[in-house]
Amino acid sequence: MNIQEITPVVLCGGSGTRLWPLSRKGFPKQFIPVYHGKSLLELTFERLSPFGEILALSSEEHRFFVEEAAEKARLRLTQILEPIAKDTAPAMALAACHARLENPEKILLFCPADHFIPDDQLFRKMVTAAADYAKNGNIVTFGVQPTSPSTAYGYIETGEEAGPGIRKSAKFLEKPDLETAMEFLSSGKHLWNAGIFLVRADVLSDALAQFEPTTFEACSEAIETAKRDGNFLRPGDKFADAVPKSIDYAVMERADNVLVAPFQGVWSDVGSWNAMSGLGTKLADGNCVLGVEENVRMFSSENTVVHGTERRLIVTLGTKDLIVIDTPDALLVSSSADVEGIKNIVGELVAQNQGQAIEHRRVARPWGDYDSIDHSDRYQVKRITVKPGAQLSLQRHHHRAEHWIVVKGSALVTCDDKKFLLGENQSTYIPVGAVHRMENPGKIPLELIEVQSGSYLGEDDIERLDDVYGRIPE
């Protein structure tokens, strides 16, 4: 089969709380550069780019991060923006309903955005080898041969042979306890569930209509009433009626046409810090370094994983079976055996209104990012980076004034009826209530220091008057 007869659908949702504090709701793991300066989403797009047309399921909050990763991978895509995350069944239903409007028999390849699969060519060969089974009306999923009794993955129990190298699915199983995982490993019939599916749009639609009619009808109508904005497609209000449920519960455990093909090559869902260590630099005695390696020193340490930053030097001495994850505003220290429980800890931090549980100190924006490096009741200092050609919204603040100091590049500044250029080591003052905008007209990133002062410094004291990124409420 021609590879371009298959349309990849990348599922970009998920908050990645098991990789806290590096991954957080505001900037999940799929967008963070974790492998040679590239994010898992960028690597996913590169792996799928030869297929041609690509569809992505994303959100308003993350749409520009997805678009940026696509630009880096040199591909164009359409994003369906879910109004609210409802798990994989409604997301896949939106994609199937969208695809069948063009061609009901279009073959869709559903892929999570945050998996690590280093052999791109072998992956594509594996998919095309299974494509005929999908073309003939089956739902094909891919199972990974277990290498350990992992409790971090769901499993698929395989049944009788359905063809050369492919078997029927007997049962989808949740993440087991250790004893059960050891039984699965020794059985030879159980595979890790990779969460990758190959299926015709009409076949998936029919299955959803049979097993989850409320969700299917809601998603079908939401696509029919969707509004297009460039490369973004916003489903209609009916999507609110879709029932939150995983595709495994909704379809895979109930359908009788599910086949399991063996996954070829290396695979990881990078779903925990123990798994993330597979992407780092291996040192002696089982040690591993992630992030900024030059700021990490390890002495008399064994099986210790450290994520370093540019902020400070990290030294371990006499550690064993330890996870140390440093970020500018939060530090995680955990035993390797207990780190899988971090998801529950993040939930407790959210309940305690700890802002670090959700947002980074460094906050990504479609135009660049800002880092809140110091603050008090009446002032805040930010380091702001604006991408070449990007601009902030035309806005004003009712409670704060701002001082801007350019330290690299150039800034085109609008302040009320004035428009002027600032170069390195130049500064300006934005009074309370002034209508203002900052743009980067150059070819290198603009870096500046912003000093805010006033009675209230919250991010909600921004009245946007014009915005190229569509962030003005209707």
Residue 473 within a domain:
no
367 and 345 together in one domain: no
Q: Within this chain, do residues 90 and 152 fall inside the same structural domain, yes or no?
A: yes
Structure-derived torsion over alpha carbons of residues 350, 215, 93, 174, reported in degrees to the nearest 10: 60
> 73 in a domain, yes or no?
yes
Tokens 């087991």, residue located:
176
Residue ending a domain, choose from 350, 378, 394: 350
DSSP single-letter state for residue 24: B
- Please report the pLDDT score of residue 402 as a whole number: 97
Residue 107's φ and ψ, nearest 5 degrees, are: -90, 125
Phi then psi for 352, rounded to 5 degrees?
-90, 10
Which CATH number covers residue 49? 3.90.550.10
Nearest C-alpha neighbor of 152 from the set 133, 175, 131? 175
Do 35 and 184 lie in one domain? The reply is: yes
Q: Are 324 and 333 in contact (CB under 8 A)?
A: yes
Same domain, 316 and 217: no
**277-304 core/surface letters (b: 16 or more CB in 10 A; e: else):** bebbeeeeeebbbbbbeebbebeebeeb
Is there a single domain that holds both residue 176 and residue 315? no
Q: Is residue 357 part of a domain?
A: no
* Whether residues 74 and 194 fall in one domain: yes
Measured distance CA(323)–CA(304) in Å, rounded: 6
pLDDT tens by residue, the chain, 474 residues: 678 889 999 999 877 788 999 999 888 999 988 888 899 999 999 999 999 889 999 998 888 889 989 989 988 899 999 999 999 999 999 999 999 999 999 999 999 999 999 999 999 999 999 999 999 999 999 999 998 898 888 999 999 999 898 999 999 998 899 999 999 998 889 999 999 999 999 999 999 999 999 999 999 999 999 999 888 999 999 999 999 999 999 999 999 999 999 998 899 888 889 888 888 899 999 999 998 999 999 999 999 999 998 889 999 999 999 999 999 899 999 999 999 899 999 999 999 999 899 888 888 888 999 999 998 989 999 999 999 999 999 999 999 999 999 999 999 999 999 999 999 999 999 999 999 999 999 999 999 999 999 999 988 899 999 998 877 765
Q: Are 110 and 197 in contact (CB under 8 A)?
A: yes
Is 284 inside any structural domain? yes
C-alpha radius of gyration, the chain, whole number: 24
Residue 285 shares a structural domain with residue 256: no
Residue 47 resides in a domain? yes
- pLDDT of res. 141: 96
Give the CATH number for residue 397.
2.60.120.10
- What are 258's two structure tokens? 């599910």
Last-in-domain residue among 350, 372, 397: 350
Which residue type sits at 403? H
Q: Quick check: is 472 in a domain?
A: no
Could you give the number of structural domains in the chain?
Answer: 3
338/403 same-domain check: no
Alpha helices in 136-195 (DSSP H): 178-187
Whether residue 175 lies inside any domain: the answer is yes
Range of the domain at 281: 273-350
Q: Is the same domain home to 299 and 369?
A: no
How many C-beta neighbours within 10 Å does residue 313 have?
10
Nearest to 252 by CA among 191, 200, 197: 197
Residues 436, 379 share a domain: yes
Strand locations in 113-212, DSSP E? 139-144, 155-163, 166-173, 190-200
Among candidate residues 305, 323, 350, the one where a domain is terminated: 350
To the nearest 10 degrees (0 to 180), the angle between helices 120-135 and 40-48 is 60
CB 259 within 8 A of CB 141: yes
Two tokens, residue 194:
């990779």
- Residue 259, beta-bridge partner list: 140, 168
Residues 446 and 395 in one domain: yes
Residue 312 and residue 380 in one domain: no
Q: Tell me, what amino acid is at 449? A: I
In a domain, 57, yes or no: yes
